[in-house]
């Protein structure tokens, strides 16, 4: 029988801007963006959704944004209401927030050429990105990430999502933002845990792809722990750049089987869940990196010296590398994370391990006994450090 | 300040197959498809969602599918349950159906490399396509359209969607299917209205792009009205081909402003709504085509002779070209459809009119007085025909 073959490519382009004091009336970056986007046809609208945690630490933010668009009134019509949404997993767990945004899109007549901007941590960005992606088959979505993790990793990428009946990111799409604005001002008010947590994604990407970048982190670990902003800005810029290169150089919408940037993540996802999200994603990833580095060492792939450099760098940054839930060795334990990780990716299990610092290699199985040994090693290190 | 530019292209490829008796055990087309998709890694799963209207007219269908996959058990794991969903706008209006599919994706462990196949009319395909697109950020979606309209138009394209609080396609995404199977066997059991309704999309695309195809429809209008299957198969193949070419040759995900294939659609969308979806989409499009053809004639763009050829062809096919709601001339009337059409597309209003048969031209405004005159002409024609 006959068939017709359909084949086309779609190009996606967006910029990730680095700035400070984005809404200071003297900073024209944001207004310039709307000017460049403008077409003669119709005035675009802009709706803001803001993480409540950001509003708490930046109580003047809404007034500042209003003042900004009073000054730049010609570029876009600002929706009169600002939606304030709780940050963290709550934003992704409760479906009422997606509905709130969809309803606001309707109320304010936000069409496919208008904008929904989200200011917040990764969870709020994921949830708002999802609501924008499904409204009118996709409204233009601007991301303004406020944490280290979202500025160097999730916020600059192409994924969005919400949880469904307790299943992480069960609903979501691959849709790039129209622009990302990384404003370092928001980093100054982060608590130490959030400041630190985002660094683990930079270490992850350095370990599997860029030895020089790992050595930079190693050298600057004390400065980063002491909240040196210049060091942090370099780290975010380089990590975001590598994340973007990984997306554009590979399989942006993950139609194939592998996700080689996910070093240390199979156990991290499970640990987050086992600790009821008490452990932040980046904290869990630090443990996951330590675990899979030791596993690589046990395979004889990574030298003892290099393994210790990795563990020492993580500890210098202030990460704790052991969590008691690692030892919940039953059917719901951390090893269950392997099958869940496969199911989430679809297709074959693919895990990244290290052949060297800066050289990740994919494997398709992990040995449960070796994983338990790696956990035992982490527990011993922890006991010897805290005694 | 500095910025990083992200830029990448994503290629989308899928086949639209034409066949009959797809689930006859002697027809290997469907099994071959899964063979070609197979990778060594893991066995894929397949979940079926079927339009209840199709199950009524094809009561043996589920048993036939089960027998097919008993015969071809190696290609894919068939989920034991079949979801049966009401057809028509109900499928898109009630959010419970999307939830049912998402829950089944969870229950049967359908991962991103497994399949959700939908058998049914355009509404069921739109709804299932949406559920598949948002589950796990996109599960492979197979479409098996069962109506003329879905086989030649919506079912072969890249859009999905559901209604939200009465707003048509308010939620949806652009995600291509992994394959489309057009089985002409399903057309034999369509009632006359559904058989006819799908033809208007073929006339639409012929009028704006392909004079020879319009002349073919004109010549074969009696045969099509008499349910000649060979004529219908040719019409569907050519219309689907032009629809696919329009998508791949233009702006597949409609990131720009125009949708030039939407001739006759601004009033059709509104008429469907005004008649509470009593009028089928294709029936409304036939009226919309007649209205915008007369409007083009009034502008002096289309000759009287050509206008009459269009109206005569539509009437020979059995379309009624007047609907009393056309005269609901108030703020909720058909003219409101213009602003709603603009809002739905986003950006500038873009309407396709005819300079000639086979030659569509975009305009960015329509004159309300001329629209009312065109409606009056349609009403007079209707009265003179029925007296």
Contact residues, chain B, for A254 at CB < 8 Å: 112, 137
The CA distance from A196 to the nearest CA of chain B, in Å, is 24
How near does any CA of chain B get to the CA of A380, in Å? 37
Contacts of B341 (CB under 8 A, 6+ apart): B265, B266, B269, B349, B351
Residues of B in contact with A244 (CB under 8 A): 4, 6
Residue B268: per-residue pLDDT: 94
Q: Give residue A241's pLDDT band: very low, low, confident or very high (50, 70, 90).
A: very high
Give the closest-approach CA distance of A6 to chain B in angstroms.
5
Q: Is the pLDDT of residue A259 over 70?
A: no
Least confident of A195-204, B42-51, B265-274, B339-348: B339-348
* CB-CB neighbors (< 8 A) of B14 in chain A: 5-6
Domains B15-189 and B208-386 share a fold: no
> Is the pLDDT assigned to residue A219 strictly greater than 70?
yes
Whether residue B41 and residue A248 make contact (CB cut-off 8 A), yes or no, is no
Interface check A184 vs B, CB under 8 A: no
Q: Is A19 in Cβ contact with B346 (below 8 Å)?
A: no
Mean pLDDT (whole number) for A88-113? 94
CATH 3.30.390.50 fits A15-189, yes or no: no
Closest C-alpha to A238, from A215, A220, A260, A213:
A213
Q: How far apart are CA A21 and CA A7, in angstroms?
A: 44
pLDDT in tens, A125-152: 999 999 999 999 999 999 999 999 999 9
CA atoms within 13 A on the CB side of B45: 18
CA distance from start to end of chain A: 74
Q: How is residue A366 written in tokens?
A: 């992990």
Residue with the bigger pLDDT between B331 and A128: it is A128
Q: Which of A265, A303, A302, A257 is closest to A286 using CA atoms? A: A265
Q: Beta partners for A12?
A: B8
Residues in a beta bridge with B359: B356
> B112 — contact with chain A (CB < 8 Å)?
yes
Residue B347 and residue A244: Cβ atoms within 8 Å?
no
Pairing outcome for strands B162-164 and B3-19: unpaired
pLDDT of residue B333: 83
pLDDT over 70 (residue B307): yes
How far is the C-alpha of A45 from the C-alpha of A77, rounded, in Å? 5
Chain A residues 75-94 within an 8 A CB cutoff of chain B: none
pLDDT tens for each residue of B245-271? 999 988 899 887 656 578 999 999 899
Nearest neighbour of A1 by CB, restricted to B18, B112, B164: B18
Please list, residue by residue across A155-179, b when 16 or more beta carbons sit within 10 angstroms of its beta carbon and e when fewer do.
bbbbbbbbbbeeebbbbbbbbbbbb
* Residue predicted with more confidence, B166 or A285: A285
Non-local (6+) Cβ contacts of B212 within 8 A are B358
Q: Is the pLDDT of residue B166 over 90?
A: no
Q: Which of A335-344, B81-90, B130-139, B356-365 has the least mean pLDDT?
A: A335-344
pLDDT at A207 (0 to 100): 98
* A191 Cβ contact partners less than 8 Å away, ≥ 6 residues apart: none
Q: What is the mean pLDDT of residues B342-365?
A: 87
Q: Give A71 or B349, the one with higher predicted confidence.
A: A71
Report the SS3 class of residue A285: helix
Average pLDDT of the residues in A79-101: 95
Q: Please tell me the distance from the alpha carbon of residue B44 to that of residue B38, in angstroms, as a whole number.
A: 8
Specify the pLDDT at position A165.
87
Q: Cα torsion at B278, B281, B282, B288 (round to 10°)?
A: 100
A192-386: CATH topology is: Dehydroquinate synthase-like, alpha domain (1.20.1090)
> Which residues, 6 or more positions from A376, have their beta carbon under 8 angstroms from its beta carbon?
none
Mean pLDDT, rounded, for B36-46: 81
- CB distance B60 to A367 below 8 Å: no
pLDDT at B356 over 80: yes
pLDDT of residue B259: 64
DSSP string for A209-261: H-HHHHHHHHHTHHHHHTT-HHHHHHHHHHHHHHHHHHHHHS-TT--SS--TT
Q: What is the pLDDT of residue B261?
A: 73
pLDDT tens-digit series, residues A3-19: 999 999 999 999 999 99
Is the Cβ–Cβ distance between B212 and B205 less than 8 Å?
A: no
Return mean pLDDT, chain B. 93
Mean pLDDT of B357-373: 94
Q: Does B13 touch chain A (CB under 8 A)?
A: yes
Strand partners, A3: B17
CATH architecture of B208-386: Up-down Bundle (1.20)
Q: In the prediction, which pLDDT does A85 show?
A: 97
Backbone angles phi, psi at A233, to 5 degrees: -65, -40
Cβ of B138 under 8 Å from any chain A Cβ?
yes
Which of B8, B176, B343 shows the shortest C-beta gap to A248?
A: B8
CA of B168 vs chain A CAs: smallest distance (Å): 10
**B322 vs chain A: nearest CA distance in angstroms?**
30
Tokens of A323: 């969590």
The domain locations on chain A are 15-189, 192-386
Q: Which residue of A has its CA nearest to B140?
A: A255
Chain centroid, CA A154 distance in Å: 2
Determine the pLDDT at residue A41.
63
Cα–Cα dist A103/A98, whole Å: 9
Tell me the backbone φ, ψ of residue A333, rounded to 5 degrees: -80, -170
User: Which are the contacts of B269, defined by CB distance < 8 A and separation ≥ 6?
Assistant: B168, B284, B337, B340, B341, B344
Q: Would you state the structure tokens that stand for residue B288, as one six-digit string? A: 């919309």
The mean predicted confidence, pLDDT, of chain A is 93
A336 band by pLDDT with thresholds 50, 70 and 90 = confident
DSSP string, A368-387: HHHHHHHHHHHHHHHHHHH-
pLDDT, position A1: 55
What are A20-74's pLDDT values in tens digits? 999 999 999 999 999 998 776 678 999 999 999 999 999 999 999 999 999 998 8
Reported residue count of chain B is 387
Mean pLDDT on A147-166: 94
Residues of A whose CB is below 8 A from B10: 9-10, 12, 252-253
């Amino acid at each position: 029988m006959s068939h017709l073959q359909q084949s086309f490519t779609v190009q996606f382009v967006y910029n990730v801007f680095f700035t400070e004091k984005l809404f200071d009336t003297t900073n024209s970056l944001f207004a310039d963006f709307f000017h460049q986007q403008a077409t003669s046809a119709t005035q675009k609208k802009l709706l803001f959704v803001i993480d409540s945690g950001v509003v708490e630490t930046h109580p003047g933010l809404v007034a500042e944004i209003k003042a900004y668009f009073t000054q730049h009134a010609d570029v876009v019509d600002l929706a009169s209401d600002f939606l304030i949404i709780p940050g963290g997993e709550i934003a992704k767990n409760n479906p009422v927030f997606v509905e709130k945004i969809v309803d606001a899109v309707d109320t304010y007549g936000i069409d496919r050429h208008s904008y929904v901007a989200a200011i917040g941590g990764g969870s709020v960005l994921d949830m708002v990105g999802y609501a924008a992606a499904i409204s009118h088959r996709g409204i233009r979505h601007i991301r303004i990430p406020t944490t280290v993790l979202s500025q160097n990793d999730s916020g600059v990428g192409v994924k969005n999502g919400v949880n469904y009946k307790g299943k992480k990111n069960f609903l979501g799409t691959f849709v790039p933002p129209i622009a990302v604005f990384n404003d370092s001002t928001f980093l100054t008010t982060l608590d130490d845990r959030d400041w630190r947590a985002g660094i683990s994604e930079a270490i992850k990407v350095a370990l599997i792809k860029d030895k020089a970048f790992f050595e930079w982190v190693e050298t600057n670990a004390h400065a980063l722990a002491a909240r040196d902003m210049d060091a942090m800005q370099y780290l975010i810029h380089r990590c975001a750049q590598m994340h973007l290169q990984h997306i554009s150089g590979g399989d942006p919408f993950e139609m194939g089987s592998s996700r080689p940037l996910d070093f240390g993540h199979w156990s991290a996802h499970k640990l987050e869940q086992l600790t009821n999200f008490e452990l932040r994603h980046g904290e869990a990833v630090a443990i996951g990196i330590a675990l899979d580095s030791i596993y690589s060492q046990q395979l004889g792939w990574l030298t003892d010296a290099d393994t210790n450099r990795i563990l020492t760098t993580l500890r210098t940054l202030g990460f704790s590398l052991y969590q008691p839930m690692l030892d919940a060795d039953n059917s719901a334990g951390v090893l269950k994370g392997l099958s869940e990780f496969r199911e989430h990716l679809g297709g074959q299990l693919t895990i990244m391990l290290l052949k060297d610092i800066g050289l990740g290699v994919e494997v398709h199985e992990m040995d449960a006994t070796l994983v338990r040994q790696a956990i035992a090693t982490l527990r011993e290190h922890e006991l010897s450090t805290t005694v």
